Each structure stands twice: as structure tokens, then as C-alpha cells.
Amino acid sequence: MDLQLTPEDVAYRERVRAWLAANLPRQKLETLEERRAWHRKMYEAGYIGMGWPKAYGGQEARPMEQAIVGAEMARVNAPAPMNGLGIGIVGPTIIHHGTEEQKRQFIQKILTAEELWCQLYSEPNAGSDLASLRTRAEREGDEFVVNGQKVWTSGGYNADWGLLLARTDPAAPKHQGISCFLLDMRAPGVEVRPLKQISGSSEFCEVFFDNVRVPADNIVGEMNRGWQIAQTTLSYERGGNLLSRVTRLQVLFARLLDVARTLKRNGRPAIEDPIVRQRLGQIYSETEVLRYGALRLLSKLEKGQRPGPEASIAKLYYSELDKRAQELMQEILGPFGQLFEGAPPELSLAGDEDGEGGSWVYSFIWSRAGTIYAGSNEIQKNIIGERVLGLPKEVRADRQALQAR
Ligand SMILES: Cc1cc2nc3c(=O)[nH]c(=O)nc-3n(C[C@H](O)[C@H](O)[C@H](O)COP(=O)(O)OP(=O)(O)OC[C@H]3O[C@@H](n4cnc5c(N)ncnc54)[C@H](O)[C@@H]3O)c2cc1C
């Protein structure tokens, strides 16, 4: 396991730093067009779809290079590129399972964010148990007719296309009757309703399908093999993810230390309170544990190995630590931590750039989502229990067997 950057990695990091210093937007990006322009700049510099094959516009970059770009972006609080689902999930799915025609039509526009994508998987009664999904797609000539409902569709409100899982054989066992489609979000019969969230924003949507016609050419892979396609876990940009999350926590932590030096508790700076110091020390140590975990994972990816169940351990540990860290931040900040805007600059999260996405409270609320998306933490624990520890899958059946003895 390599815990140090090689001289080449350090040189690469310097180049990324220099590029960010020269190109980072000076002002907050307000409009979709401003965000697209920033995305375009990153794409032209080779920082989008870094792990993709060169034949499809990627860089075939090493996991460490991807991680370095993610970490450097987090360090300077750079705006995220657009089309996260398109680049993280849809593009790799089309590259692996799509037809030549689908690749020609979609890949380039995903990379440039000319077309934005959403993921149409979860339904009101199919989240963790995704294979229970009920949205139907029925074949009629050279089209499929889609009816049903999806929920928690991130970015559904401005998506041009959606990667859809729908049931194509209701008689088959539930994992075997599902197909995967590329669905035009502007097609007649698609209705997108934004959901108002506790944060005040509406990143999620409900999506309803009322006799939506999808050309049969837009099926991905074989009919009724959608479950296998959805399971394709592609490690293209996964390696970069964890280290940038560590950096994000480190940046937040550094800011918290500044605030704790300024804020007074019983007339003394909060940082002099022994309990505050102890709790800060705890979060610092746990972040270091996560950093070594991220390097361990990267080391494995660099050797061409798959992430394996470590990805579940990392996700579980990171999201729980993030929640603990955010709770501590709120405790130290007191009422100031509740302000979406208007906190004094010396106490705010992002100095004069305060506001949605840059406030302590938004950061706190967002941390609650981390234990749910990409498979809830209970599901991660099931995976770790079954695949890492080798515990029995069916505890009830096991108990009955024990009782019968
Ligand atoms: C920020 C965010 C973004 C998302 N974006 C998208 C998106 O773009 N597209 C999309 O399709 N979906 C999206 N989702 C939905 C997400 O995939 C689901 O919320 C998630 O899979 C959990 O499903 P659920 O909400 O239906 O909860 P449920 O599955 O109903 O779970 C409820 C509770 O029961 C627990 N539970 C369920 N089954 C088990 C089990 N077998 N063992 C132990 N505990 C269990 C869960 O852990 C949870 O605590 C997003 C969610 C979040 C939070």
C-alpha cells in the first residue's frame, strides 16, 4: 500500500493547482449557462470523464490522477462540473452496453454537458428493494409505451434525457423482467414535478410517465437484462471520489478551527474549552483514518484491482463521519450555525461567498442525505456483513435451522 504521492503525482498536482489558480471562476456561478461555460473549460483541459477510454473522449487517466483533480477542486472550493449522473453512470453504461448508434448520438454530448441526464430508478415502493419497481414498458411495434412513476430524481427538472429502468416482463421473477432505456425527458407524457426540500431548494423531482413512447432503438443492451446493466459497477471515476471527500472535510475542519478561535464561550475563545478541544481532536483523528482508507483504496485501484467491498466500508465510514463532524460544527457555532445567510464574515463558512451551498446549515442538512443515497447505510452494512464477514444472508432461516436442532 502506497501512502505517499510519487514525484510524478506531485508534479501532476502542481499542474492541476496552477490550472485551477488561472481558471477558477472569480464569481459565484448563478446561471445554467455560466455553469456550462465552467464545465466546458474543465472538459477542454481534460478534467471531465478522466477515466473514460480515449476513443470516447476520455483521458484514460490513472485513479490517482482523478483523485488529485477531485482533491484539488475540493481544496479551492471549485464549482462541481455538471452532468454528474451522465458522466458517472450513463456514459459508462452506454460505452459498455450501448449500440454504436447510441454511442455516436449520446457520448460526446454527455461529456460536454450539452445534454444533461438524470437517473430514473427509484420509485415510491422501490428504493433499497429496487427490483420491485413497477413502471411498465410495453412493446408496440417499433416503440415501447411507458407508464408509471419515479421519485427522488436528482436534477430531473433540467434533464434532457433519463436512464430508465422499467418492467418489460411482469410474469418473470422480479430481477429478470426489467429493461434499461434511454428516455427523452421532453417526450409527450413525461411530467416532472420538483419536490421542495428541507434545505429550501428542489434538487429532487417526481417524474410521471403517461403513455410515453420510446423508440425500440433506445433500449440499452438486451430486453429483460436491465438488472444486470444496472448492476454494472464501473470504477471509472470512483477512485477519485473518496480523497476529494476527505479534502472537503479537511477544508471544513480548518474553517471550523478559525471560527472556534473567534467565537467566545463563557468569555473565552471556544477553542480553549477542553470538551470542544477533545471533540475536535476526535474528528481530526477520524478524518485521518478516512484519508488512509482513501489512499488504501486508491493504491488498490492503481494496481488495476477492483474496489470490492472496501467501497461499501468507505461509503459507510465517510457518511457517518460527515454527520458527526457537521453535528459538532453546529454545537460549536450555536445559533450562527442555523443561518442560511447573513452570518458575520468571521463566523460564516465561505467568507463573503456565503449563501446556499456555502452555509454551515446547508452543509449540515446535506450530510443527512449521505447515509441514504447510493444505497442506504443499512444496505451497506448488509453488503459488508454478507460479502466481507461472510455472515448468513437469511438470518431468519438460520434461526429456524438452529431451533430445529
Ligand atoms: C441525495 C439523494 C439523491 C438521490 N438521487 C436519486 C436519483 O437521481 N435517482 C434515483 O432513482 N434515486 C435517487 N435517490 C433515491 C435513493 O436511491 C433511495 O432513497 C435509496 O435507495 C433508499 O430507498 P428509499 O428512499 O425508498 O428507502 P427505503 O428502501 O424505503 O428504506 C427505508 C429505510 O429502511 C432501511 N432498509 C430498507 N431495506 C433494508 C434491508 N434489506 N435491511 C436493512 N434495512 C433496510 C433503509 O436503510 C432505510 O433506512 C436519491 C436519494 C438521495 C438521498
Here the CATH number for the domain that contains residue 250 is 1.20.140.10
Q: What is the pLDDT of residues 151-199, one digit of tens each?
A: 999 999 999 999 999 999 999 999 999 999 999 999 999 999 999 988 8
Q: Please tell me the total count of domains within the chain.
A: 3
Same domain (yes/no): 377, 249? yes
The answer to whether residue 107 is domain-embedded is no
Same domain (yes/no): 260, 358? yes
Same domain (yes/no): 250, 383? yes
Same domain (yes/no): 244, 363? yes
Nearest CA to ligand 1 atom 37: 128
Confidence of residue 19 (pLDDT cuts 50, 70, 90): very high
Same domain (yes/no): 252, 368? yes
The answer to whether residue 1 is domain-embedded is no
Q: What is the pLDDT of residues 204-240, one digit of tens each?
A: 999 999 999 999 999 999 999 999 888 765 444 444 4
Q: What residues make up the domain containing 49?
A: 7-82
Q: How far is the CA of 369 from the centre of ligand 1 (A)?
A: 10
User: What count of Cα atoms within 13 Å lies in the side-chain half-sphere of residue 357?
Assistant: 11
Buried b (16+ CB within 10 A) or exposed e, 156-193: bbebebbbbbbbbeeeeeeeebbbbbbbbbeeeebebe
- Looking at per-residue pLDDT, the higher value among 305 and 289 belongs to 289
Same domain (yes/no): 151, 77? no
The answer to whether residue 275 is domain-embedded is yes
* Phi, psi dihedral angles at 266 (to 5 degrees): 50, 40
| Residue 153 near ligand 1, beta carbon < 6 Å | yes
The answer to whether residue 311 is domain-embedded is yes
Predicted TM-score (pTM) of the model is 0.89
Same domain (yes/no): 250, 362? yes
Same domain (yes/no): 260, 343? yes
Here the CATH number for the domain that contains residue 66 is 1.10.540.10
Confidence of residue 1 (pLDDT cuts 50, 70, 90): low
For residue 377, the ligand 1 atom closest to its alpha carbon is 47
Same domain (yes/no): 377, 287? yes
Same domain (yes/no): 162, 242? no
The answer to whether residue 93 is domain-embedded is no
Q: Give the other-Cβ count within 10 Å of 231's Cβ.
A: 9
| Residue 376 near ligand 1, beta carbon < 6 Å | yes
Same domain (yes/no): 338, 319? yes
Here the CATH number for the domain that contains residue 188 is 2.40.110.10
Pocket test for ligand 1, best of 376, 384, 394 (most atoms within 8 A of CB): 376
Instruction: Give CA–CA dist 146/125, Å, rounded.
Output: 18
CA 263 vs CA 57, 333, 348: distances in Å: 49, 8, 11
The answer to whether residue 341 is domain-embedded is yes
The answer to whether residue 59 is domain-embedded is yes
| Residue 385 near ligand 1, beta carbon < 6 Å | no
Same domain (yes/no): 278, 377? yes
The answer to whether residue 232 is domain-embedded is no
